[in-house]
Amino acid sequence: ALRGSFASKAQKSSQRSQYHLNPQASYKVAILGAAGGIGQPLALLIKMSPLVSALHLYDIANVKGVAADLSHCNTPSQILDFTGASELANSLKGVNVVVIPAGVPRKPGMTRDDLFNINANIVKNLVEAVADNCPDAFIHIISNPVNSTVPIAAEVLKQKGVYNPKKLFGVSTLDVVRANTFVAQKKNLKLIDVDVPVVGGHAGITILPLLSKTKPSVSFSDEEVQELTLRIQNAGTEVVEAKAGAGSATLSMAYAAARFVESSLRALDGDADVYECSFVQSDLTELPFFASRVKLGSNGVEAIISSDLQGLTEYEQKALEALKPELKASIEKGIAFVQKQP
């Protein structure tokens, strides 16, 4: 069973709850874009979760083969496949968590914002269907640019009259996964021990790892802070360049998304001690959306953890102020995209 395998020791040690696996747990998860580079390994990881009773795989093509293949794994969840717009509504009925990795990935030389023109429409159309068919579900947005696609989703849900800010999440888990890995490597720590909060957004300088808040407490030289921060901010580009035109991070992303799904299901299932970083509607700063640690509960975001932004180092404080104009512009671009449509 995968339960708990995604959480770091630092996260687990803060989990004082009496939560135990509910053998009757049976949640339904849908992946929109399930035949893609992220969708396939993500489907495999979710197929291994004991909390899932049904996994709905939706894509515009190639999903039947993925579903047939996956359905032979002898884990409890049932696999159902849905192809094309005419089957989208049925893929969403009765679903508790919808994960959206649909859309095009970057090629070398592109920014995430260069994906806006294609992915904005894809996310808009898919979230309209979510609003119509499972408005109460947790919605996990992976499609880039996350800094804009999450505001797009929020506007669509508002127009449909079903927006619940506690249940709309931009998936920034990969930034935390990377920060944990790079810090553990640099400081020779056991990987399982390390937990670094990453705040802001999910693109370039808007990705702000709060190294001073690393658990367990670690001290970094100024050079180490500079080097680690840049590596974490550019890690997506590192993968895009290594793949040399064949796409962006898919396997590490699937791992990160599976962790976020598992945390969401645990929260839905009554675990009272689930914390993850996510890009959500937030009053932590003057920006309407901001990534930070949040406490997850059965109704979604139960609390936004404000203490992480207190007592920042001068470097972090400056980086926080520096990221705001770009993040604000990306959020506004997403909102305007939906509002300007007839």
Site for ligand NAD in 118-147 (CB under 6 A): 119, 122, 126, 142-144, 146
Maximum C-alpha span of the chain: 56
Site for ligand NAD in 82-101 (CB under 6 A): 101
Query: Among residues 67 and 271, whose Cβ is nearest to ligand NAD?
Result: 67
Per partner kind, with CB cut-offs from 5 to 8 A, the member of ligand NAD, ligand LMR, none near residue 239 is ligand LMR
Per partner kind, with CB cut-offs from 5 to 8 A, the member of ligand NAD, ligand LMR, none near residue 30 is none
Which one is catalytic: 56, 72, 140, 202?
A: 202
Least separation in angstroms between residue 97's CB and ligand NAD is: 16
Query: Among residues 170 and 300, whose Cβ is nearest to ligand LMR?
Result: 170
| DSSP code string of 299-339 | TEEEEE-GGGGSS--HHHHHHHHHHHHHHHHHHHHHHHHHH
Per partner kind, with CB cut-offs from 5 to 8 A, the member of ligand LMR, ligand NAD, none near residue 250 is ligand NAD
Query: Among residues 199 and 240, whose Cβ is nearest to ligand LMR?
Result: 240
Query: Among residues 194 and 203, whose Cβ is nearest to ligand NAD?
Result: 203
CA pair distance 15, 23, nearest whole angstrom:
20
Binding mask 171-210 for ligand NAD (x = CB under 6 A): x--x---------------------------x--------
Residue with tokens 């890995």: 181
CA pair distance 31, 140, nearest whole angstrom:
10
Residue 51 to residues 61, 198, 267: CA-CA distances in angstroms? 27, 27, 11
**Is position 140 annotated as part of the catalytic site?**
no
| Chain contacts with ligand LMR (rule: CB under 6 A) | 105-106, 112, 144, 174, 236, 239-240, 248-249
List the beta bridge partners of residue 21.
none
Least separation in angstroms between residue 186's CB and ligand NAD is: 21
CA pair distance 286, 278, nearest whole angstrom:
17
Q: Residue from 7, 57, 98, 102 that binds ligand NAD (CB under 6 A)?
A: 102
Total of chain residues touching ligand NAD, rule CB under 6 A: 32
Query: Among residues 35 and 268, whose Cβ is nearest to ligand NAD?
Result: 35
CA pair distance 11, 156, nearest whole angstrom:
34
Terminal-residue alpha carbon distance, the chain: 48
CA pair distance 154, 138, nearest whole angstrom:
12
* Tokens matching residue 222: 């100024």
Least separation in angstroms between residue 118's CB and ligand NAD is: 8
By CB neighbour count within 10 A (0-12 exposed, 13-18 middle, 19+ buried), where does 307 fall? exposed
Q: Residue from 33, 50, 197, 334 that binds ligand NAD (CB under 6 A)?
A: 33
Task: Find, among 203, 85, 223, 90, the residue nearest to 148 by Cα.
Answer: 203
* Tokens matching residue 283: 């009053």
Residues near ligand NAD (CB under 6 A) are 32-33, 35-39, 59-61, 101-106, 115, 119, 122, 126, 142-144, 146, 171, 174, 202, 247-250, 253
> What positions carry a catalytic annotation?
202
